[in-house]
A and B are shown apart, each in its own frame.
Chain A
Amino acid sequence: MSRWLLASLALQNLARRRARSLLLIAAVAIGSGVVFTGATLMRSIDDSMAVGFTRLGADMMVVPDGALTNITAALLTVEPTDLVLDADVLDRARLASVGRAAPQKIVRVGHSGIGSHHDLVDLIGIDPARDFTVQPWLKEKLNRPLRTGDVILGAGRDAPLGSQLLIFGKPHVVYGKLGRTGVGTHERGVFMSFATLEALAGSIPAMGNTRPAALAPGKVTGFLVELAPGATALQARFAILSAIKGVKVVTGDSSLSGIRQGLAALLGGILALMVLMFVSMAVMVSVLFSAIVTERRGELGLLKAIGARRAQIVGVMVAEAVFATGAGGLLGVTLGVLVMRFFERSLVYYLDNIGVPFVWLDLPHTMVLAVMAVALASAIGALGALYPAWRASRRDAYDLVRGEG
């Protein structure tokens, strides 16, 4: 019973000093709003980075020496060439600096039945189990694993998901479609498993006198390579060239790892700022409640004089702080959601338009962050008020009533 009365006393105290209470709520709202928004964006950026960097493909490419390469496209797919490598050449070398290696076979064909009559189409064979540069770009796909006879279309080609696509007169199922990558090979390519490509091989006519070398069993056009953790591109390049003869190692834009490290540092900085903001908020609330307790010594002394226990004295002050900072936390989360709405409609829209993916944190995780922000704001209020209230509760009631202590 007294709990409700003391809680209502705390609320009434907040209402009595309306301007101060509103300022406190606003300050906590800004703090918790920044923390909530920062944490949500941080997690979203983190997730986006995870997806984005996966999509950015390989760290380097290994192709036959003499093969022409397009650096921009290189880290997503190898370029069609007549030169080939043994499919197990990298496995045999067992290089510690090589993390993952995805083999690809590429055959550029005409008169395939895809697109207009004269269109050249890149048929790109992948090993679905080892691929890490094509499948991360899947924008939509059938709800089952990739099978023999399935094809994945680049963003530049249009066919309904699940529809039948004739390639050299043989029916294939459109299993999935890739998002826009800005890389021509990906945009125009028709991707399929090695098994599908091998099944199609007999239907692919020879170009001139020879059949495309990449169609030969046990041969691949090249490998897309991801470095082992901690390995540098230079180490891997040296190791590959030393161990395998007749290959060329093509590395991509070295600024990618720089961007990755830069973003990681930025996120770390944001996290540190958020922690600092929370600490400063706790200090501010504590200072404010020291002043509030000092101002209300008479009232607290009176409560003590009529029989309030120390826990009740502390409780009424802490409840007041929790109500104010909790309300601030709720307001902050609301403001944060509005800010992110704005963010979504401007920057994310812009990023999406230029093909840079931004993955928002899912709703359950966002809710968890919102609840945590409100809980933390309330906890800061409780902690901030606890010490001044505890000190006041230890004073003699008479000293408090007389405005001392």
Chain B
Amino acid sequence: MLVCRQVSKSYRTERGPVTAVGGIDLEVPDGRFAAIIGRSGSGKSTLMAMIGGLSRPSAGTVEVDGIDVWGQSENALAAFRNERIGYIFQFASLLPTLRLIDNVALPAMLARRQAAAGTYERAVALLGRMGLGGYLEAYPAEISAGEQRRVAIARALINDPALLLADEPTSDLDEQTEREIMDELLTINRELGTTLILVTHNLALAERAQQVVHIANGALVA
């Protein structure tokens, strides 16, 4: 269960403080597919980053399964990001010097939870599931943007996260690829029971969500 209480984020600029997100309350039950929609600059990605442990809120709390995300030590927060969160960015987010299999295995290797062989077996299975079983040894530059996004999904799943956070994962892809990737994310949500939170400004995509959170100017729209 994800619970946000009065989560805010302000930035200090030369022209004074700017509030990106202002006092949002949000609850997303386990296993649900929630879509956060809103116009560009409305604060969707900032809210998502605070949920995912990537950006510290200026005020408020974020809880995942009863754990106060931002109340943890640095190392515990790193472990939380590693084990509980699968984050898919709105851009190609693979390390260019690593092979696809290494990119996928990396979060598990950072955690040092599993033996290398087990990690790589799982990475192979996940890449196979994404239809990239034939590209294990390839480097990111050798595959298309859509395929890179699939690798990012595989990487997000390597540690069996409780929350899969996808921040406009298909914004720069063609419709066909966008549909395929969204179908994949929904299948994961349905089959694995992973909570999926999707940031998008595509209303058609949002219609497929079980819960829609509309944000404008950093605040929830009733």
> Contact flags (1/0) for B109-137 with A, using CB distance below 8 Å?
11110001000000000000000000000
Interface readout for A28-49 with B: 1 if CB under 8 Å, 0 if not? Answer: 0000000000000000000000
Q: How far is the CB of B126 from chain A (nearest CB, A)?
A: 14
The smallest C-beta distance from B181 to any residue of chain A, in angstroms, reads 19
Indicate which residue in A16, A308, A401 contacts B97 across the interface (CB closer than 8 Å): A16
> Of residues A12, A13, A306, A310, which shows the largest number of chain B Cβ atoms within 10 Å of its Cβ?
A306
B1 interfacial by beta-carbon distance below 8 Å: no
A1-B116, A299-B95 given; A308·B110 CB < 8 A:
yes
Closest residue on chain A to residue B81 by CB atoms: A307
Task: Determine if A309 and B106 form an interchain contact, defined as CB atoms under 8 angstroms apart.
Answer: no
Q: Are A306 and B54 in contact (CB under 8 A)?
A: no
Distance in Å: Cβ of B43 to nearest Cβ of chain A: 13
CB-nearest residue of chain B relative to A14?
B97
Output the nearest chain A residue to B78 by Cβ-Cβ distance.
Answer: A309
Tell whether B79 is near chain A: CB-to-CB under 8 Å.
Answer: yes
Q: What's the minimum C-beta distance from B132 to chain A, rounded to whole angstroms? A: 18
- Would B112 and A306 count as touching, CB distance under 8 A? no
Q: How far is the CA of A399 from the CA of B55 in the complex (A)?
A: 7
When the two chains form their complex, are residues A396 and B78 in contact, meaning their CB atoms are under 8 A apart? no
* A2 in contact with B112 (CB, 8 Å): yes
- Closest beta carbon of chain A to B51's beta carbon, Å: 11
A308 touches B78 (CB 8 A): yes
Check A304 against B102 for contact (C-beta < 8 Å): no
Chain A's closest residue to B56 (CB) is: A396
**Per-position contact with B for A288-323: 1 when CB-CB < 8 Å, else 0?**
000000000001011111111110100000000000
Q: Which of B49, B78, B93 is within 8 Å of A307, CB to CB?
A: B78
Return the chain A residue nearest B86 by Cβ: A306
Selected from B49, B74, B75, B81, the residue in CB contact (under 8 A) with A306 is B81
Instruction: Using A396-B54, A397-B54, A401-B89 as known contacts, say yes or no to A307 and B96 having CB atoms under 8 A apart.
Output: no
Q: How far is the CA of A47 from the CA of B165 in the complex (A)?
A: 69
When distances are taken between beta carbons in the complex, the residues of chain B under 8 Å from A12 are 97-98
- The answer to whether A306 and B96 have CB atoms under 8 Å apart is no
The answer to whether B83 has its CB under 8 Å from any CB of chain A is yes
Chain A nearest CB from B134 CB (Å) reads 23
For A303, the chain B residues whose CB sits under 8 A away are 95, 110
Across the interface, which residues of A come within 8 angstroms of B83, CB to CB? 307
B106: contacting residue among A304, A306, A398, A399, CB under 8 A: A306
Mark out the residues of chain A between 99 and 116 whose CB falls within 8 Å of any chain B CB in the assembled complex: none
CA distance A301 to B78 in the complex (A): 12
B82 within 8 A of A: yes
Mark each residue of chain B from 71 to 103: 1 if its CB lies under 8 Å from any CB of chain A, else 0.
Answer: 000110011011100010100010111100010
A401 to B97 Cα, complex, angstroms:
17
Q: How far is the CA of A1 from the CA of B116 in the complex (A)?
A: 7
User: In the complex, A62→B135 CA distance in Å?
Assistant: 92
User: What's the nearest-Cβ distance from chain B to residue A306, in Å?
Assistant: 4
Kindly state whether residue A207 has any CB partner on chain B within 8 Å.
Answer: no
Q: Tell me whether A302 and B110 are in contact (CB under 8 A).
A: no
Chain B contacts for A2, CB-based, 8 A: 109-112
**Residue B44 CB within 8 A of the other chain:** no
| Residues of chain A with a CB closer than 8 A to B106's CB | 5, 306
A309 nearest in chain B by CB position: B78
- Shortest C-beta distance, B103 to chain A (Å), equals 10
Q: Which residues of A contact B78 (CB under 8 A)?
A: 304, 307-310
Q: In the complex, what distance in Å separates the CA atom of A9 from the CA atom of B105?
A: 13
A15 touches B (CB below 8 Å): yes
Q: Is B22 an interface residue (CB 8 A)?
A: no
Is the C-beta of B107 less than 8 angstroms from some C-beta in chain A? yes
Distance (whole angstroms) from the CB of B157 to the closest CB of chain A: 12
Most A CB atoms within 10 A — which of B98, B109, B116?
B109
- CB neighbours of B110 from chain A (8 A): 2, 5, 303, 306-309, 312
Contacting residues, chain B, for A16 (C-beta < 8 A):
96-97
Q: Is B150 an interface residue (CB 8 A)?
A: no
Contact of A310 among B74, B79, B82, B87 (CB under 8 A): B74
- A1-20 vs B, Cβ < 8 Å mask (1 yes, 0 no): 11001000100110110000
Closest CB of chain B to A398's CB: distance in Å?
Answer: 4
Q: Which parts of A243-276 form the interface with B (CB within 8 Å)?
A: none
Residues of A165-200 at the interface with B, using a CB-CB cut-off of 8 Å, are none
Residue of B nearest to A313 (CB): B78
Are A309 and B97 also in contact (CB < 8 A) when A1-B112, A2-B110, A398-B49 are?
no
Find the A residue at minimum CB distance from B84.
A307
Question: B35-66: which residues lie under 8 A (CB-CB) from chain A?
Answer: 46, 49, 52-56
A302 to chain B, nearest CB (A): 5
B97 close to A307 (CB less than 8 A): no
CA distance A13 to B55 in the complex (A): 26
Q: Name the distance in Å between A366's Cβ and chain B's nearest Cβ.
A: 38
Q: A5-B110, A12-B97, A309-B78 are in contact. List 18 more A-B contacts (CB 8 A).
A: A1-B112, A2-B110, A2-B111, A2-B112, A5-B109, A302-B93, A304-B81, A305-B81, A307-B81, A307-B83, A308-B78, A308-B82, A309-B110, A310-B75, A397-B54, A397-B55, A399-B55, A401-B54
B: residues with CB less than 8 A from A are: 46, 49, 52-56, 74-75, 78-79, 81-83, 87, 89, 93, 95-98, 102, 106-107, 109-112, 116, 155, 159
16 contacts between A and B (CB under 8 A): A1-B112, A5-B106, A9-B98, A16-B97, A303-B95, A306-B107, A307-B79, A307-B83, A308-B82, A309-B74, A309-B78, A309-B110, A397-B53, A398-B55, A401-B54, A401-B89
**7 nearest A-B pairs in the assembled complex, by CB-CB distance:** A307-B82, A12-B97, A398-B55, A398-B49, A398-B54, A397-B54, A309-B78
